[in-house]
Amino acid sequence: MPRVDFAALPDTARLWVFAAERPLGEAERDALLADVDAFLDGWAAHGVPLSSARDWRYDRFLLVAVDEAAAGVSGCSIDALSRQLREHERRLGMALLDNAPVTYREAGDIVRLPRARFAQLAEAGELGPDITVFDNTVPTIGALRAGRWETAARHAWHGRVFFRDQVR
């Protein structure tokens, strides 16, 4: 099944969010997206083509989704996507697959910090539970559309981990 438009996928489509450690320049972005598009055009699970799409946001977030109603992804097909993105990490000299850092908005800018540093700032009261974070663990396009990706920390896993005394 060919790649489809991201907006055409149903709310139930499975979603992966990959955060680049820095904004990509135009040439870097174009090369990444061209390769991802070519990959998605041929992406299959056990020989069955996947109905998939991608989106690019804020010059640093790659969103990839699959409509599993048509065909479900397999561990092997997910591994193939990871291998493709690891190759881009090597070419760009930066991380795309590292989900450990916390990404959030501060004064309109997107900031990416190691979890330990984010925890220090939260403990010191420099960041609070209402700070807008990017919850890159959102599982579906429906969750993305419902505003669960870019949300206040109190509404994401960040609230339970970093602000547990302030969030009920």
Q: How far apart (Å, rounded) are the C-alpha atoms in residues 16 and 122?
A: 26
CA dihedral for 82, 85, 91, 97, sign (positive or negative): negative
pLDDT at 168: 64
pTM: 0.92
Looking at the chain, the whole-number percentage of residues with pLDDT higher than 90 is 68
Asked if residue 18 lies in contact with residue 96, where contact means CB atoms within 8 angstroms, the answer is yes
Q: What is residue 44's predicted lDDT score, i.e. its pLDDT?
A: 80
Q: Which residue, among 105, 116, 3, 117, has the nearest Cα to 57 in the 3D structure? A: 105
99: its two tokens: 């989900």
14, 139 contact by CB (below 8 A): yes
Structure tokens, 11: 């709310």
Residue 168 CB coordination number (10 Å):
6
For residue range 153-163, list pLDDT tens digits in order: 999 999 999 99
Domains belonging to the chain, first-starting first, are: 6-92 (3.30.1360), 102-162 (no CATH)
Question: In this structure, what token pair is assigned to residue 136?
Answer: 């890159």
Quick check: 146 pLDDT over 90? yes
Question: Can you tell me the distance from the alpha carbon of 49 to that of 141, in angstroms, rounded to the nearest whole number?
Answer: 20
* pLDDT tens readout for residues 66-80: 988 877 776 777 888
pLDDT at position 18: 95
The token pair that represents 41 in the structure block: 């055009």
% pLDDT > 70, the chain: 96
How high does pLDDT run on average in the chain?
Answer: 91
SS3 for the chain is CCCCCHHHCCCCCEEEEEECCCCCCHHHHHHHHHHHHHHHHCCEECCEECCEEEEEECCCEEEEEECCCCCCCCHHHHHHHHHHHHHHHHHHCCCCCCCCCEEEEECCEEEEECHHHHHHHHHCCCCCCCCEEECCCCCEHHHHHCCCCEEEHHHCHHHHHHCCCCCC
Confidence of residue 167 (pLDDT cuts 50, 70, 90): low
